[in-house]
Amino acid sequence: MHNYTMTGFLLDLLANEAYVSGEDLATKMGMTRSAVWKQVKGLRKLGYKIEAHPSKGYLLVEKPDRIYPWEVMGKLETEFIGRKMEYYDELPSTNQRAKELILTSPPEGTLILAEKQTSGKGRLGRAWFSPAGIGLCFSLILKPQLPPNELPKLTLVAAVALSKAIYQEAHRRPLVKWPNDLYLEGRKVSGILTELSGEMGRLEYLILGVGININQESVDFPEEIREKAGSLRSILGQKKPFSRLDLLGKYLKQLEEEYTNAIRSGFERTLTYCRRHSATLGNRVEVTDGRRVYQGKAIRIEDHGGLVVEDEEGKQAQVISGDVNLIDFPPPEH
């Protein structure tokens, strides 16, 4: 197991853009100079560019664009979300790994990060495209103390938190497509998948899987989704890549705030945001809830989190959870 704390400590000591002597590093880290050299070689293998000078010591020249745990820790402003984490270069699915972890009784807020997923899934078992190094894919393990009928609204909580975090980072606000996607300029930039785990009618864990398209170019997407999907960078036309670490840090902080508020005070704030910044309301939609298909105009989100769809004859139907296709794409929101 990698010593995340020691690695982070060494990088902190090297972070002031000046040479640091091997002797100083050895003293502060409580190890020999040869052990420091071994740590430096380990960092170089992970993609860090570190110069070594016989008389000056070590200089950190460049960091790799990776979401290593010690880098994430440096961005964390949370009390419990992300405080325990696992990191992988590649996983079939972070949600699947979260299900395995549940057997070990992990603390609430445990974070599973992967640079790349090979079998990531969205709603209804659809594949989620997540190549290495240009987006984010991760799962969180939560233990919400809520009655079962309230749990579907936690997907909206996660979506609202991400919309706010992206607004902070990119200064453009994605719209929430009920119940689990974010759209920017009419293109999907994020999908959220929640899965429940429990026995005998008692919820033990909620797994929150999140995928975010951040720095992909349009050619990076499979041809079949290229017209519908987009990334923050491609949609906003930004030349410089967005910092995945900065966005992840902002999201985890925002999610903890929104989640804690919902548990303590209810979902009014979440629902107000979803109604105000909606990719769904006012548009024609097709909704599938597993039993039947509803077509019509999405007219409101109820206090219980369900969507109300009105057909051409004025007949209304409530959908508690389902898959939504937008027949009319929403206009851009600035």
pLDDT tens, position by position, 319-334? 888 888 888 765 544 4
What's the average model confidence in pLDDT over 134-158? Answer: 92
The stretches of 213-267 forming alpha helices (DSSP H) are: 232-236, 244-265
State the pLDDT at residue 334: 42
- Beta bridge partners, 300, equal 308
90 pLDDT more than 70: yes
- 44-87 confidence digits (pLDDT tens): 999 999 999 999 999 999 999 899 999 999 999 999 999 999 99
Element containing residue 135 per DSSP (H, E): strand 135-142
Count the neighbouring beta carbons within 10 Å of the beta carbon of residue 183. 25
Q: Assess whether pLDDT exceeds 80 at residue 122.
A: no
pLDDT for residue 320:
86
Pairwise CA distance, residues 165 & 253, whole Å? 9
Give pLDDT tens digits for 222-254.
777 767 888 999 999 988 999 999 999 999 999
Question: What is the per-residue pLDDT for 99?
Answer: 93
For the chain, give every residue range classified as CATH 3.30.930.10. Answer: 69-276
Residue 200 clears pLDDT 70, i.e. is over it: no
Query: Quick one: pLDDT at residue 204?
Result: 79
What pLDDT does residue 329 have? Answer: 61
Q: Average pLDDT of 146-154? A: 88
Segment 4-26 mean pLDDT: 90
Burial of 48 (0-12, 13-18, 19+ CB in 10 A): buried
Start-to-end Cα distance in the chain: 45
- Looking at domain 284-326, its CATH class is mainly beta
Query: What's the pLDDT band for 133 if we cut at 50, 70, 90?
Result: confident
Amino acid making up residue 138: F
Three-state SS at 146: coil
pLDDT band at 201 (very low <50, low <70, confident <90, very high): low
What does the pLDDT read at residue 124? 46
* Alpha-carbon gap, residue 204 to 196, rounded angstroms: 8
pLDDT recorded at residue 1:
37
Within the chain, all domains assigned CATH 2.30.30.100 are found at 284-326
Domain 4-62 listed as CATH 1.10.10.10: yes
Q: How does pLDDT run across 272-307, given as a tens digit for each residue?
A: 999 999 999 999 999 988 788 989 999 999 999 999
- Give the pairing of strands 284-288 and 202-213: unpaired
Pinpoint the residues of the chain covered by CATH 1.10.10.10: 4-62
Question: Which position has the higher pLDDT, 222 or 156?
Answer: 156
pLDDT at 121 over 60: no
Architecture of domain 69-276: 2-Layer Sandwich (3.30)
Tell me if 55 sits within 8 A of 22, measured CB to CB: no
Q: What is the pLDDT of residue 126?
A: 53
- Average pLDDT of the residues of the chain: 89
Does residue 201 or residue 155 have the better pLDDT?
A: 155
